[in-house]
Amino acid sequence: MKVRGRVVRTRHVSFRFADRTVLVSLALLLAVIGVGLVTLTSGDFELTVAEVANSLIGRGDGASDFIVLTLRLPRLLTGILVGIALAVSGGILQGLSGNPLASPDILGFVQGSATGAILVIVLVDGGMAEVGAGALVGGVATSVVVYLLAFKQGVQGFRLILIGIGVSFIMLSLNQYLITRASLSDAIAAQAWQVGGLNGRGWDHVRVVGSAVAVLLPLALYFGRRLALLEMGDATARGLGVDAERTRFALIAISVGLAAVATAAAGPVSFLALAAPQLARRLTGSAGAGLVPAALMGALLLVAGDLAVQRLFSPAQLPVGIATGAIGGLYLIWLLAHEWRRGIAR
């Protein structure tokens, strides 16, 4: 394999990055900022960029301060953070399993979170914070169960996936059963949670998701560099000085943590964890799981989806996962069709 890109060396560390990856990442970052600006300025109450900027640096008037700082900015930030968390979580799992279909759903994760949330809604009638906590506990507990069930002198990726499928179907049917047995108002609340979305997300959400991402993202990037080595097989990785089992455990734990926090904050957002790493991979043209472009792509998809939900369908409450599914799906189709045409031309 030809090694391309530039090498940065300092006294202690040196690393290589590819030009195209950097360009794509910068473009994605600009797109996130652009969509963010549209989100902050447009809506029922139009603001100019100058007014938004004034509010952001603390010099705005009361009305725009309220709209920007209390309503729109926390929602936007939650969207960005949740997008990053889900995309990185999916990117890690796809790299670990070498399967483009792998996403946190297959570890029973999303269904377990839903079970936790529904149990809280049905049994203790909790508020938004309790439901979020229930989702967090449910998701993590389900993932631990899956990991333990799959453990047999180490965890083999294939077995982990199959057992994850089995467990997530049990949780799914448990959820359906709970919803059919619950009272109507509980069932509606549970359904609303399962739909997911960023409505009414405030600074509390930003703080929780933000601190989780701040801790787990650097860890993910650090361990993510070993993903390429793990893909060569356990023996080779060991020969290159990587403890395969421990690295795999760390990566799974990081992935679960990120998915847990994201799901607790925004409910299940379908398809994003699957699509973002794949889209990023196709744009950068790199083989590995470029986690940084994947994270930016996730953030872009989610804020763009949220913008579409807020502005295009506005009176109807369309879940953000639907919009991200449509945007991400169409984009992926377009990329595939583009490659298809190129294939014909060749």
Partner 1 sequence: MGTAEQVRPRGGTSHVARAAGLLVAVGVLVFVFVLSLWVGTRDIPFAETWQVLLHDDGSDEAVIIHDLRVPRGLMGLLVGGALGLAGALMQALTRNPLADPGLLGVEMGASAAVVVAIAFTGVTSVTGYIWFAFAGAAAASVVVYVLGSSGRSAATPERLVLAGAAITAVLVAFVSAVLVLDAEAFNSFRFWNVGALAGRKMDAVTQVAPFILVGVGLALGLARSLNVLALGDHTGKALGANLGRTRALGALAVTLLCGAATAAAGPIAFIGLTIPHVARMIAGSDQRWVLPYSIVLAPILLIGADVVGRVVIAPAELQVGIVTAFLGAPVFIALCRRRKLAHL
User: Of the ranges 16-24, 125-133, 244-252, 327-335, which one interacts with partner 1 (CB under 8 A)?
Assistant: 327-335
How many residues form the binding site for partner 1 (CB under 8 A)? 54
Q: How far apart are CA 79 and CA 305, in angstroms?
A: 9
Give the residue carrying structure tokens 């560390």: 13
Q: Which of 11, 152, 153, 241 binds partner 1 (CB under 8 A)?
A: 152
List of E strands, the chain: 6-9, 14-17
Q: What is the DSSP string of 172-227?
A: HHHHHHHHHHS-HHHHHHHHHHHH---TT--HHHHHHHHHHHHHHHHHHHHHHTTH
Residues ≥6 apart with Cβ < 8 Å to 233: none
Rounded to the nearest angstrom, the gap between the alpha carbon of residue 137 and the centroid of all alpha carbons in its chain is 18
User: Of the ranges 184-192, 202-210, 219-227, 267-275, which one interacts with partner 1 (CB under 8 A)?
Assistant: 267-275
Q: Which of 247, 270, 284, 310 binds partner 1 (CB under 8 A)?
A: 270
322 near partner 1 (CB under 8 A): yes
Rounded to the nearest angstrom, the gap between the alpha carbon of residue 311 and the centroid of all alpha carbons in its chain is 22
286 near partner 1 (CB under 8 A): no
199 near partner 1 (CB under 8 A): no
Q: How far apart are CA 304 and CA 279, in angstroms?
A: 15
User: Of the ranges 27-35, 74-82, 169-177, 206-214, which one interacts with partner 1 (CB under 8 A)?
Assistant: 169-177
Token code pair at residue 322: 């639907």
Residues ≥6 apart with Cβ < 8 Å to 99: 161
Token code pair at residue 91: 């990117």
User: Of the ranges 28-36, 38-46, 236-244, 321-329, which one interacts with partner 1 (CB under 8 A)?
Assistant: 321-329
325 near partner 1 (CB under 8 A): yes
Give the residue carrying structure tokens 């394999």: 1
For partner 1, the binding residues in 67-126 under the rule CB under 8 A are 99-102, 106
Nearest CB to partner 1, comparing residues 18 and 172: 172
Residue 100: CB minimum distance to partner 1, A: 6
Residue 322: CB minimum distance to partner 1, A: 5
Q: What is the DSSP string of 6-33?
A: EEEE-SS-EEEE-HHHHHHHHHHHHHHH
Residue 343: CB minimum distance to partner 1, A: 2
Rounded to the nearest angstrom, the gap between the alpha carbon of residue 127 and the centroid of all alpha carbons in its chain is 24
For partner 1, the binding residues in 297-316 under the rule CB under 8 A are 313, 316
For partner 1, the binding residues in 120-139 under the rule CB under 8 A are none
DSSP state of 245: H
Site of interaction with partner 1 (CB under 8 A): 99-102, 106, 149-150, 152, 156, 158-159, 161-163, 165-167, 169-170, 172-174, 176-177, 180, 270-271, 274-275, 278, 313, 316-319, 322-323, 325-326, 328-330, 332-333, 336-337, 339-346
